[in-house]
Chains A and B, each alone.
Chain A
Amino acid sequence: MATTDLEQLAKQSGLTTRKPRSLWADAWRRLRFSITARIGMVIGTIIILTALLAPIVDPYDPTLDSDLDNARQPPSAQHIMGTDRLGRDIFRRIVHGASLSLSVGVVAVLTAGVAGTVLGLISGYFGGATDMIIMRVMDILLAFPSMLLAIAIVAVRGNGLFNTIIAISVVGIPGYARLVRSMVLTLREQDFILAARMVGVRTPVIIFRHILPNSLSPIIVSATMGIGGAILSAAALGFLGLGAQPPAPEWGAMISDGVPFLRQNPHMVFFPGMAIMLTVLGFNLLGDGLRDALDPQMRT
């Protein structure tokens, strides 16, 4: 075999050989050496752990949590981020709100990503009328400013966390569909697909085994960035009172809760906003790092 010959040759000339690394191993190596990606991973891990561990370490029932004698206290040793208008500890609510924001972000992006990817694959691979119908529908969805469409969907379906997820997912679908379709269009013409078709590989196998893995990295980058965006949209809907309903500790809703007291107690607005910003920042940094790692040519 060629490899063994090469290894022998290398041994004779006193060189060491390196096992060829896969794309993913290579990307992982680059990711670990990027400072921004590392910061992103640290923030992401902290948020995920907070979301997972909070209910176990500190069982929380928002309906029972109020202490009116200590309402609207500024930050102190006892309440490091102060208390809100019902005397609830803001830090504790932020910690328990992590799972809400995170689940909206992840579920919405997963739903939009999977739906958009499937539509993009079908549209790009089959072309023709199928392509035209799917892409026209995507064009129409893209014609709406996304925030407005999300608000309209929630207005139609009613307030709440579940409908927030649906709205943000629907708004996200066209982006992925377009991205995947354009990837498929370039890949479809390449020789290895032609070769697969010639030896009689069935269409679904071609799509999912040959085309999808090759278009995966831009999807992953865009999804990672999308989590941050989805969390921001969910917070905006929560702020407008359309998202998770009180007394759920949703970060956007916590900010709107503090608005009437902005003059005297700005901490009620300040801290939940910081939580949103840090979380989104973490996913954006990770997305930036992933883009550089998966596509070294794109590095800026």
Chain B
Amino acid sequence: MTAYIIRRVLGLFPVLFGITLLVFFLVRMIPGDPAVTMLGDRASAEDVERVREQLGLNEPLYKQYFKFMGQLLRGDLGKSIIHKTDVTFDLRQRLPATIEMVVWALLIGVSVGVTIGVISAVKRNSIFDIVGMIGALLGVSMPIFWLALILIYELAVNNKILPPSGRLDAAIFVDRRTGFILIDTLLMGDFYAFGNALWHLILPACVLSTVIMPPLVRITRACMLDVLNQDYVRTARAKGLLEQVVIIKHALKNALLPVVTVIGGQLGGLLGGAILTETIFSWPGMGTWTYQAISYRDYPIVQASVLVSATIYVFVNLGVDLLYTVLDPRVRYT
């Protein structure tokens, strides 16, 4: 077990190295001269040359890569071409907003998805099951940005139940300590602001949760059906245990393992979906930041956000794999 963990962690290094290499070359493959992008088309040749020298663009590629890695290891992600701000600083402002949304989407998606899956399996072929399965099928087939727009139209425009965009009403001031608005408002003891933040969070988080909900419903249902046919479930029933106890303690516990895998596998989808959801809800997170940076060709930001997302993704997947060994002692890694 320990050997497995050590091997997995060591195995991360080549992947992380590859990520930096790929991002580095992807950004250098962009047509056009970054110096010209910074200075504009009308810049004189000497100015362009001076900026190229400053940016180190005249040095050979491998030297540039070493310099890039050196900065990266010191936590320096460069400066934004458009805003001239420090990318690492901006990232620290943006990342909590995205994490907050993704975590809530995950919570909503898992709790609702697993519940629907379990009920569908227990009441197999009932109306609930059929509606649930059709819902899951429509859910995977639906463009998430379209669902977001339809829900905004219904819930924010037609019936003003939820706000259409933003993270907080503009009039509310929040003292930034962690960057997680729900935590910050609680730290301030301002429950009105907390409620307001939650109210803004519901719709985007629900929309994003539809990325993981349909696959979770389907896998939970399939695993539950499989488990419910096992001998130990029959034994539990024969002992006269309450049906709820049989389902939750005996069946669900054993059906959850593949569910964990699905959550790990769908995390990339959540991060991708966050870009679209944030753009639509004007959520001030990594997604809108990246999207705006792409439209302005602000490459240091694109580079930073791709790097950070990939790194988070790799580590979370490692976490899921390790969790797997804890949850299922039968799994042996040799």
**Which residues of A approach B to under 8 Å, CB–CB?**
136-137, 139-141, 143-149, 151-153, 155-156, 158, 228, 232, 235-236, 239-242, 252, 255, 259, 262-263, 266, 269-270, 272-273, 276-278, 280-281, 284-285, 300
Contacts and interface: CB of A to CB of B under 8 A. Distances in A.
A144 B295 contact: no
Contact of B306 (A148, A232, A252): A148
Contacts of A284: 137, 140-141
B222 interface: yes
Main secondary structure of the interface of A (DSSP, over half): helix
Interface in B127-174: 137-138, 140-146, 149-150, 152-153, 157
B143 A276 contact: yes
A151 B140 contact: no
B146 A152 contact: no
B116 interface: no
B26 A153 contact: yes
B26 A143 contact: no
B18 A300 contact: no
B309 A145 contact: yes
Contacts of A269: 146, 149-150, 153
B314 interface: yes
A270 B149 CA distance: 9
A6 to B, nearest CB: 37
A273 B297 CA distance: 29
A269 to B, nearest CB: 5
Contacts of B152: 262
Interface of B: 14-15, 18-19, 22-23, 26-27, 29-31, 137-138, 140-146, 149-150, 152-153, 157, 221-222, 225, 267-269, 271-273, 275-276, 279, 290-291, 294-295, 297, 302, 305-306, 309-310, 313-314
A278 B146 CA distance: 13
A143 B314 CA distance: 6
A156 B27 contact: yes
B156 to A, nearest CB: 10
11 contacts: A136-B18, A141-B22, A145-B271, A147-B275, A149-B306, A236-B143, A262-B149, A269-B153, A273-B142, A273-B143, A300-B221
A255 B14 CA distance: 41
Contacts of A146: 268-269, 272
Contacts of A278: 141
A231 to B, nearest CB: 9
B272 A255 contact: no
Contacts of A137: 18
> Which of B137, B145, B150, B306 has the largest number of chain A CB atoms within 10 A?
B145
A144 B26 CA distance: 13
A143 B29 contact: no
B290 A151 contact: yes
Nearest to B214: A284
Given A144-B313, A277-B141, 9 more contacts: A147-B269, A152-B23, A152-B302, A156-B26, A158-B31, A242-B294, A255-B146, A280-B140, A300-B221
Contacts of B268: 144-147
Given A145-B272, A269-B153, A300 B225 contact: yes
Contact of B276 (A136, A156, A236, A272): A236
A148 B272 contact: yes
Contacts of A148: 271-272, 275, 290, 305-306, 309-310
Given A147-B273, A262-B152, A155 B145 contact: no
B159 to A, nearest CB: 13
Given A136-B14, A240-B279, A281-B137, A235 B143 contact: yes
